[in-house]
Chains A and B, each alone.
Chain A
Amino acid sequence: MNVIETHGLTKHYNKGKIKALTNVSLTVPQGQIFSLLGPNGAGKTTLIKLLLTIVFPTSGSAKLLGKDISDYTSHFKLGYLAENHRFPEFLTARQVLYYYGKMSGVEKAKLDVKIPQLLELVNLGDWGDTKIRKFSKGMLQRMGIAQALTNDPELLFLDEPTDGIDPVGRREIRDLLQELRNQGKTIFLNSHLLSEVERISDSVAILKHGELIRQGTVEDFISIKKQYLLQIAEGNETLKNICKTNEIPLISQNGHFIVSVHDDAHLNHLIDRLREKEIVIQGITPRKISLEDFFIDVIEEKAEVV
């Protein structure tokens, strides 16, 4: 089941002079961590705001949890951490979770149990009765995450969740998001931290100038098709000769070899030739690049655009 579906979602301002988002169609299946990437001003936050009806689309349609976005009842099952969110500063952490939990439709009795658990979950257990005006940026960010979880949402929108959080805190949030995914929840993530996204995301979409230019799994993006890292115990010269004979490009890199083949049959042919010469193959793995490299290639239009 797709928890998010958009069809030609478009948002233009000033009678089309500012094109925040143009014709975005995407789907997000249930139980995934989906990350939206793009440079500043690409339309990432606009897309979340459109889905939550914080802004209204110029054209197109979208569904959240099977309901049209104009039906706010779907919001009972979602949580949202806004970028640069602001809570009333006169409230304590506990009161913030109480009021925003009530607004999410959670009963008081449930909140009484849930609030201490959430504060512990985001490492603010000792700060429940402190006014949030005394909180650091990282603490406020963690409060925002706790707030988004008060109603035990099925779908979680997180706009730059690790902004202002130290590396240890980031790892904790990463673990938390993976735990939530394991519970079957869907997480829609906007983040600039590509290393984080690469580690936890199942699928990724890339926006540029308000247009969706890529959508797929992280594995698809970071694997380089038809290139393999080859590790052998000895017989480097033999390998070079075999590759030369079979017209297989070979690059030596950090003690490994990178081979480029036409297809799986071509790869197996190479393996057969190596085994014939009794060369011990220690490993063959598809060659990958980092998501960051891929992202930069796509944004700089080096990679093929869908």
Chain B
Amino acid sequence: MDRIWAIIELTFRESLAKRTFMAFLGISTLVCLLFIFALNLDIVDGMESYISIFGQEVNERIYLDELVYNIEAGIAAVLFTAGIFMALFATSSLIPSFLDKGSIDLMISKPLSRFQILMGRYLGAVAIVAFNIFYLVIFSWLILSIKTGIWNFGFLLSGVMIVLAFAILFALMTFLGIIVRSGPFSLMITYLVIFISPWLIQRDVIYALLSSKFYGYMLDGLYHFLPKMAELGEITTYLVQGNSVPSWLPLWTSVIFGIIMLTASNIIFNRKNF
């Protein structure tokens, strides 16, 4: 386990050495500091009698829990979209770079199976993203909860969902990275999968515009096979707002997609000559 941990740690450090993650940590810290200093509340009987943001009083009377849930849902939405976009961008070169000649040779010469090497790299990338996401989620959750007395554990679950969504997409990037060894190409295809996700939910509308049934089957196939990012985003919002999730199916099918991608990556990596 120590040997795999060394790869995870090395990948973590490599990611940290990139400016993107440092910028992300800086922005996260800034957001949390804003919550500390800019949000002031005076609470009476569960409703705030006075609320100010950046020193400006907000006149409308709002239920406090609604305000906290909305702020947390906002943070989760930003993390699910911009956060994942940024994380994918920052990690896109991790797989192709470690497959470079002179680098992969050394790793394979170590007493590690190829499965362990690839999983170490994969988990290292997921670990750095999880660290960044949970840094912002836990830090902002603590500040909001301490200031308002409202402890919304659903917000913490949103952190898990965001990391899981990234892990699923990074499994696809790993698969593409091993096949084509190109960070930008892997990134473009992964972004494409994210972009078409909301369209595939609306495939009933698209069917009406298509002449052939074949395209209908194809869209159905893509919907069921690809990760359902739009629906995962909705599940995240449900969790933050404390609502019950109507269906977990999009999550399970997306996780299965991630597992398939990782399995395929391992099979190919195990047979590759370097």
Contact = CB atoms under 8 A, between A and B. Distances in A.
A79 B10 CA distance: 19
A54 interface: yes
B274 A54 contact: yes
B211 interface: no
A103 B108 contact: no
A65 B209 CA distance: 66
B61 interface: no
Interface stretch (B96-104, B222-230, B238-246): B96-104
B102 A82 contact: yes
- Tell me if B's interface is mostly helix, strand, loop or mixed: helix
Contacts of A56: 271, 273
A88 B10 CA distance: 9
Interface string B1-45: 011011101100110010000000000000000000000000000
B273 A102 contact: no
Contacts of A104: 3, 110-111
B70 interface: no
B27 to A, nearest CB: 22
Contact of A105 (B2, B13, B104, B273): B2
B6 A99 contact: yes
Given A54-B273, A55-B273, A86-B103, A102 B6 contact: yes
Interface string A86-127: 111011000100011011110100000000000000000000
Nearest to B273: A55
B14 A102 contact: no
B218 interface: no
A78 B13 contact: no
A105 B2 CA distance: 7
A73 interface: yes
B102 A84 contact: yes
Contacts of A78: 109
A255 B5 CA distance: 67
A285 B126 CA distance: 68
B113 interface: yes
Interface residues on B, range: 20 to 34
A72 B14 contact: no
Interface residues of A, number: 33
Contacts of B110: 75, 100, 103-105
Contacts of B104: 54
A90 B13 contact: yes
A148 B2 CA distance: 18
Given A85-B105, A86-B103, A55 B274 contact: yes
Contact of B111 (A73, A83, A99): A73
Given A56-B273, A75-B111, A80-B109, A90 B17 contact: yes
A105 B3 contact: yes
Interface in B245-274: 271, 273-274
B160 to A, nearest CB: 29
Interface string B90-124: 00000000001111111111111100000000000
B119 to A, nearest CB: 14
Contacts of A105: 2-3, 110-111
A37 interface: no
Interface of A: 49, 52-56, 72-76, 78-80, 82-88, 90-91, 95, 99-100, 102-105, 107, 147, 157
Interface of B: 2-3, 5-7, 9-10, 13-14, 17, 100-113, 271, 273-274
26 contacts: A52-B108, A55-B273, A55-B274, A56-B271, A56-B273, A72-B111, A76-B111, A80-B105, A80-B109, A84-B101, A84-B102, A85-B103, A86-B103, A86-B106, A87-B103, A87-B106, A88-B14, A88-B17, A95-B13, A100-B106, A102-B2, A103-B3, A103-B112, A104-B3, A105-B110, A157-B109
| Closest CB pairs A-B (n = 9) | A102-B6, A80-B109, A86-B102, A90-B17, A55-B273, A75-B111, A103-B110, A82-B105, A76-B111
